[in-house]
Amino acid sequence: MLILSYFYIIDYKVDIVKIIKFYFLLFFVLCFWRILTFVLIKRYLHYKGIYYNNVVIIGYNDSTKKLEDFFENNKDHNYKYKGFFTNKETNKKLGDIAKSFNYIIENNIDEIYCSVKELSDEQMSELVYFADNNLKTLKLIPNNKYVFSKKLKFENHDLIPIFSLSNIPLKDNLNIVIKRTFDIVFSLIVIVGFLSWFTPLIALMILLESRGDVFFRQLRYGADFKLFACYKFRSMSANRESDSLQASKNDMRITRVGKFIRKTSIDELPQFYNVLFGSMSVVGPRPLLLSHTNDYKNKINKFMVRHTVKPGITGLAQVSGYRGNIEKDSDMQNRVKYDIFYIENWSMFLDIKIIIKTVINVIKGEEKAY
């Protein structure tokens, strides 16, 4: 458009037919290039065995047989079909339904396809609970007479209808790219524009008051329950309880500088390096102490859903008042409730809203920031 505007301004005669031909040619070349790139990348990933989802089927009937044929006859899809479980007598099965849970864990199964007509209500409840608390995606092959009260994601594999109980927006490839791009840009702005000159100043303040490292490194559980090193500016004197005991009000371990940087959340700023390198996101469920995670993962239902996405520097629970020391189980239950809401209702608008609320809370000061 700029080129055409230039020609118009200088009153240069241009053959409109040639221009139309040029744009049509450019359109087809770009389309061909994008399709070719997509096909080549997809074939390369399949060749390397990258981004495959290991799947199993629970149930054995006409619907599951068609789904089995779909998996076996569509090798170019990102599925690795392992087999099926049923209580019916057949030589092809991996085992009875009761044995499926151990197999799913031991063989790193990603998705479970279940025929609802073959399970009782009690078995279905157990399967939903198992999938939620072990980071597995549960998809249902519906019975026409089965009525669902929960909002489900509907999809098709050929002509086979599938319902998914785990409708997580950040599992969509486009949303992953959007969020990751935002994380990289935002973290680079903070690192280059602020941390590049601020880090030496805060480091000097920390070292003048107490001996030790400038940065505090602590292992936390991240996405898919994988460990990563989370970084902060050191706000406490050296102690042996940092991995097990959370900071509390008037904690004697906190230094004077530490009290200031914790109150203003400055101690969290090095986590933008975690964001840049991919182990964290700007917004997401806050990573907890390992001791808290190990304590609550089997105590609070759906706690493990928090680990289906990357942890964040800030999160919906934190801007909603649930930050600071965990004094009772209800504190953690409320955090999990907000975290799951965020995961199931993610949007870029929600991320920006949380970031703005975080900045406002930092400026106003937070009662539980200690």
Cα–Cα distance, 193 to 281 (Å, whole number): 19
Pick the CATH number of 53-167 from 2.40.50.180, 1.20.1250.20, 3.40.50.150, 3.30.1370.100: 3.40.50.150
Tell me, what's the pLDDT at 281?
96
* pLDDT tens digits for range 20-57: 666 667 777 777 776 666 666 666 555 555 557 889 99
Tell me, yes or no, if the pTM score tops 0.75: no
**3 state SS of 312:** strand
Query: Distance between CA atoms of 290 and 219, rounded to whole angstroms?
Result: 7
Within the chain, which residue ranges are assigned CATH 3.40.50.150?
53-167
- pLDDT tens by residue, 92-141: 888 888 889 999 999 989 999 998 888 888 888 899 899 988 888 898 88
The rounded distance, in Å, linking the Cα atoms of 278 and 183 is 9
User: What single-letter DSSP state applies at residue 346?
Assistant: -
pLDDT bin (cut points 50, 70, 90) of residue 323 is confident
Q: What's CA 267's distance to the chain center, in Å?
A: 24
Structure tokens at 158: 């050929």
**Cβ pair 163, 148 in contact under 8 A:** yes
